[in-house]
Structures are given as C-alpha cells and as structure tokens.
Amino acid sequence: MMRAPFLLLAVFLLAGCGSSPRNGGDLQSALLDRGAVEFLQGNFNAAATHYERFLGLNPLTTRRVWIFTRIGLCRNGEGEYRAAIQAFDRALASGARGTSRVEILYRRAIAGNFSDLPGLALVDLEQVSLEPAALRGEVVKAAEFERIFGVTLIRAGNWKRGKRVLENLVRSWPYSPEAVSAHRILTFRKFSVQVALCPDLQSARKQIALLREQGVVGRAEILPDRSGVSVLVGEFSRYDQVVRERDRLRALGIPGFVLP
C-alpha cells in the first residue's frame, strides 16, 4: 500500500476532531493546544513532542486515551509505524471505548500493514468488522474499510476471502475510487514490487534497461486504476517473500512498494 493516501486520509478525517476536552486540573494544558496546531499543519513530530511533554507532566490525566491516540496518529504521519502501534496500544490500555476504540483499532491496523505485519493488522480489522455499521461509519467510510480489509486478508495469505471482500466492494460501490483500486487488485495472482510508474511504454523500457544493468529483471504492465505504465519486479505467492525482495531492491538503491 502507498503511504500518501493513508497520510492524507488521516489528516482529513482528524482535522475535524477539534481540540482535546478541557481539564482544569492538568498542568500546562497549553501544550495540547500547541500540539493541535502542529498536527493540523502536518508537523507531526513537533505535535507528538508537545503531547508527550504534557503526559510527562500529567501521567494520570483523564485525557490519556485522546492524547495517546493523537501520538499514534502523529507517528503514523511521520512513517514511524512501530512507535505508532505502541502509542495505540497505550490508548487501548487506558480504557478506549466506543468510537475511540474503533478508530484506534483501525489506525493501528494501518500501522501494522505499513510495518509488514498483516497478521496483526488483520486481528484489529476483524474486531472493527464486528462493530455495528453505524459506529464503524463514524470512523471510516464503508468502501475504504472493505478495501483495506480485503488487501490485508490477501497479504495475510487468505487470497480467497480477501478477493471475496473486494468483489463485494466492487458490487456495492461500483463507481467509487476504492472499487477502481479493488478491480486492479482482483487482476493480480502474485505479489510484485512496483519500482517505477512511467508515462509511456518507451519510458518503461528505459527503466527496465537500467534495472538490468543492476542485475534486476523488470517488466512493464498497464494497471487499470492508474495512468501510465508500471514497472514491476518479481512475482511471489507469499507476502513475506515480496517484502524480502522489496528490501533487497532498496539495499540496491531502488525504491519500491508492494502490490497489491
């Protein structure tokens, strides 16, 4: 999965969450206001620092769930996914309930996927799927959830169930962006690493030639949910295998991400 859509989604969804609830007994509550400003500006590391300083001064604050959740979102935004998981763990341990619990589980699942831990992400998504649709809908749009759920199932090795979820997504929301993405995923039979997206086939062939000079075999494919020609490397039946290939390519200085 690509980082940018999830980062944008977190910003758009959470920009409307507002400031934390007030508690006059806490020390230096202004730290939370500074954190909120930095968060909305996308300065996630600075925001997390303010929230963490507040917790250092107020370890027993009644706002622990909200603050740990914000820290987790900040770490997700910074690409520090293991740290995000730890923050979400602490938010749940602090007594998250209702919508807050659903949101934490969903965001922790996203962090788990980015951490190459689809099995752990799937546990969280299974819990979210059991919540009433109305409650779940306050956190994430149904089509988006189905896409993430389906991809995570596939990455966790359950191709058959994952594809059923994506097929249902296409039937239920046929004109949504998520359906377009799901349709592309349904055409895959193996995992691959995308290392380039080129405007045309000629450019893709040049990229493939450059890869060949580094001892890497690439291929060009036109994917239905994006313009241009993708340059892909490898075909693997298991997610852990494609992750190793992606890491090998990165060690060679070739950036890439896993499909699907």
Do 3-140 and 191-259 come out as alike in CATH topology? no
Q: What pLDDT shows up at residue 184? A: 84
Mean pLDDT, 10 residues at a time, the chain of 260 residues: 42 43 68 94 96 94 95 96 97 96 98 96 97 94 97 95 96 93 87 94 95 95 79 95 96 93
8 Å CB contact between 122 and 87: no
CATH code that applies to domain 3-140: 1.25.40.10
Reduced to 3 states (helix: H, G, I; strand: E, B; else coil), residue 224 is coil
Strands (E), 135-241: 191-198, 218-221, 229-236
Q: Residue 185: name the closest of 217, 152, 208, 213 by CA.
A: 152
Reduced to 3 states (helix: H, G, I; strand: E, B; else coil), residue 7 is helix
pLDDT tens digits, residue range 207-256?
999 999 999 999 998 876 667 899 999 999 999 999 999 999 999 999 99
What distance lies between CA 34 and its chain's CA centroid? 26
Sign of the Cα torsion 77, 80, 85, 91 reads negative
Find all residues with CB under 8 Å of 193, minimum gap 6, and list them. 232, 233, 234, 242, 245, 246, 249, 256, 257, 258, 259
pTM: 0.82
The CATH architecture to which 191-259 belongs is: 2-Layer Sandwich (3.30)
Please state the domain extents for the chain.
Answer: 3-140, 148-186, 191-259
- Measure the CA–CA gap between 71 and 98, rounded to whole angstroms: 19
